[in-house]
Amino acid sequence: MPEIPATSRRGLLFGTAAVSAGALLTACTSNEPKSAGTATGNAPAADDKPGKPVTIGFAGPQADHGWLAAINANAKQRAGKYSDVTLEITEGSNDTAAQIGQIQTLINKKVDVLVILPADGKALTQVGLQAMKAGIPVVNLDRIFASPQAYRCWIGGDNYGMGLNAGRFIGEQLKDKPNAKVIELAGMDNLELTKQRTQGFDDALKNYPNIRKVARQAAEFTVESGQAKMAQLLQAQKQFDALWNHDDDQGVGALRAIQQAGRDDFLMVGGAGAKSAMDAIKADNGVLKATVLYPPTMAASAIDLARALGQGKGIGGMAELEIPASVTLYSAVVTKDNVDQYLPTGFS
């Protein structure tokens, strides 16, 4: 078993710092340099030439959100591209005890590598340690375990980067407008990811002294909560110039509230990368002008990493013989100028 570097990372809980998932890992299972491919979920699979057979166990939470459903779909699709990969996928559960049981079943089956997106990273740390001690390397997907000894590689999104890039985009749109006002429709305030997204957004706005954030509401990542909280914001704020919404699922409800109020006097930036948001950006006939990605393609890249671990390979284009200890994905901003490139990654 490879030695685990004692590195620490920002605790990421839900659910996107150098390149996007599809671009970085299209060549990750070969030691020979390969082209970067595209930043979509349909990027060329890594090193398609069959190698040593690898059985990958995949365990994630219940797919009760569009992003989580896309995680599962990306993992299955990527594994299907490889004739040398067998994917053992669990049903998924938000109950930590049930998910631990599912992972222990995969450990008992003696899979070659585990990919785990834990319902609760801290609560599932022990089962990650159990797998590693059993000689099964773990790719920890997005929600991070409490100990770096519980995984061989972590891959996930950048919540702070989401907020930062949303703030930069809005800042550039409003940089010449005196006394500009922005509002924020956040996610769940009890989640660390929400705090990180807000902090990144606030830090970006510090570079634009003409812009002031005048209101913020936290929703719950659902269509219903997005609509209700957005309606409250619209009633309280009769004039503002931009809105940043943390999550495209709750953004569906936010857009309903905006349409019902007959408002079109501001621009909106979404978060995560839902297909509905990208379709609206492409149509360019409403307030939604951009969305900041938290790419579910990370699950496809996790399969690439797991296959590389199982076959004892590194990442193409890098000198090291081993895969990295961590990969943080870039939160790209999707606008009408590049939406066609990212549409294949949009989730329902």
How many whole angstroms separate alpha carbon 144 and alpha carbon 125?
9
Q: Letter for the amino acid at 136?
A: I
Measured distance CA(40)–CA(340) in Å, rounded: 10
Angle of helix 248-261 relative to helix 223-236, nearest 10 degrees?
Answer: 40
Q: Are 163 and 171 in contact (CB under 8 A)?
A: no
161 pLDDT higher than 90: yes
Residue 62 has pLDDT above 80, yes or no: yes
Q: Rounded CA gap, 215 and 152, in Å?
A: 42
Comparing 21-155+296-328 with 159-293, is the CATH topology the same? yes
Model's pTM, two decimal places?
0.81
Helix residue ranges, H only, the chain: 21-24, 66-80, 96-108, 125-133, 159-174, 192-205, 223-236, 248-261, 275-283, 298-311, 339-342
**Exposed e or buried b for every residue in 266-284, given b needs 16+ CB within 10 A?**
bbbbbbbbbbbbbebbeee
> Of 69-73, 148-152, 284-288, where does mean pLDDT reach its minimum?
69-73
Task: Read off the pLDDT of residues 206-219 as tens digits, 9 standing for 90 and up.
Answer: 999 999 999 999 99
CA-to-CA distance for 131 and 110, rounded, in angstroms?
A: 9
Asked if pLDDT for residue 38 goes beyond 60, the answer is no
Quote the tokens at residue 25. 């890992």
Regarding beta strands 113-116 and 326-328, do their DSSP bridges make them parallel or antiparallel, or are they unpaired? unpaired
**How many degrees, rounded to 5, is the angle at CA 298 between CA 297 and CA 304?**
100
Architecture of domain 159-293: 3-Layer(aba) Sandwich (3.40)
Give the type of residue at 221: F
In the chain, what are the domain boundaries? Answer: 21-155+296-328, 159-293
Dist. CA 25–CA 302, nearest whole Å: 9
Return mean pLDDT, the chain: 88
CB 187 within 8 A of CB 12: no
At which residue do the structure tokens 């834990």 appear?
Answer: 118
Tell me what pLDDT residue 46 has.
Answer: 55
CA gap 145, 151 in Å, rounded: 8
Condensed to tens digits (0 to 9), the pLDDT of residues 76-131 reads 999 999 999 999 999 999 999 999 999 999 999 999 999 999 999 999 999 999 99
**pLDDT range class, residue 4, cuts 50, 70, 90:** very low
Q: Using CA atoms, how far apart are residues 312 and 208, in angstroms rounded to an integer? A: 48
| 21-155+296-328 fold | Rossmann fold (3.40.50)
Torsion (CA) 230, 15, 335, 317 in degrees, nearest 10: 170
